[in-house]
Amino acid sequence: MRLNAHKLTKWLDKWQPPPWHALLLRTLLYSGLWWVLTEGQGSLWIGALLALAIAFCAPLSVATWPAQLRWWKLPAFILFMLKLSLKGALEVATLATSQRCDANTLTYSYRFRFLTQPYQQLLMANLVNLTPGTLTLNVHHDALYIHILHHHPDVEAQLKLLESRIAGLYGLPQRSMV
Amino acid sequence: MRELLGAGFIILGIPFFIASTLGLLRFPDVYARLHALTKADNVGLGLICLGLAVQANSIAVALKIVLIWGLILLASSTGATLIASSALRHGSAPRRRSDKDTHADR
């Protein structure tokens, strides 16, 4: 109980009201989530009040989109990921149904070229798992340790392309392209 | 028409689940099996969710189904890396092509 009180005091010391635009964005996002989760049947007032309360209480670093995110690039990025995902699923399906599971598996260390922030690297680590033939084993010292299910020359180029697309999403300068 | 389109997406999703299950049974180690679970399963589930969303009675229900798919994608992708890094930490090294494959003929 004393520990909880200590945590509460620490949280109160750190807490500061979010800027109005972050508050507005969060309230809209959480109200939208309430509407979706209640399938449009829940009380809007309760949803808006809950959304406002959570938007006020959550730390600034949580549930706020990074300011540098290029929103307009998001639909094209989602389409790009869906295409890669489908390609990956077809590759796995082909291997799984082939008479001999003759996969050329190996591990590979991919060093980040543009992504420097931990949250950007974490996003790439997660997305690597959805791209054809690659699985993140570990993120360590600015590099991804990757398991490749069936190695072919396109894999490295595909990883570089994925990193450039994520860098583009965050508006990061890309010194040397593939 | 919507029912037919939805059913089409659902039927398209089923082979991916079957392929994923086959991969889970046939692939030689935990890392390769995780590929089957994170890729084929997610696309299969995505197609089934899309089929259900097309058949939904309201936009809110359709969005809820798509949200469920998105959350499962996130959980499956993060979970795969956590399982893989845990397996690696506990000494299960990824197999190489040169290693003898006892599962290949199954």
A40 contacts in B (CB within 8 Å)?
58-61
CA distance A55 to chain B (A): 20
Q: What is the pLDDT of residue B61?
A: 92
Percent of chain A at pLDDT > 90 equals: 21
CA distance A166 to A38: 33
Whether B103 maps to a domain, the answer reads no
**Tally of residues, chain A:** 178
Is residue B106 one of the residues assigned to a domain? no
Please indicate, yes or no, if residue B81 is contained in any of the structural domains: yes
Nearest to B88 among A88, A92, A137 (CB): A137
Domain membership of residue B101 (yes or no) is no
**Cα–Cα distance list, B43 to A69, A126, B18, B51 (Å):** 26, 16, 12, 12
Q: Is B98 contained in some domain?
A: no
- Establish if B105 belongs to a structural domain: no
Q: Would you state the pLDDT for residue B103? A: 44
- Check whether B102 has a pLDDT greater than 80: no
What is the span of the domain harbouring residue B65? 2-89
**pLDDT tens, residue by residue, A60-117:** 665 556 667 788 888 999 999 999 999 999 988 988 888 776 777 888 889 988 888 8
B96 domain residue, yes or no: no
The count of domains in chain B is: 1
Residue B11 domain-assigned (yes or no):
yes
Sheet strand arrangement including A143-148: A106-111, A143-148, A134-140
Closest-CA residue of B relative to A82 is B43
Round the average pLDDT of chain A to a whole number and report it: 83
Establish if B51 touches chain A: CB-CB under 8 angstroms: no
Q: How many residues does chain B have?
A: 106
What are the DSSP calls for B20-78, one per residue? HHHHHHHSSSHHHHHHIIIIIHHHHHHHHHHHHHHH-SSHHHHHHHHHHHHHHHHHHHH
Query: pTM for this structure?
Result: 0.80
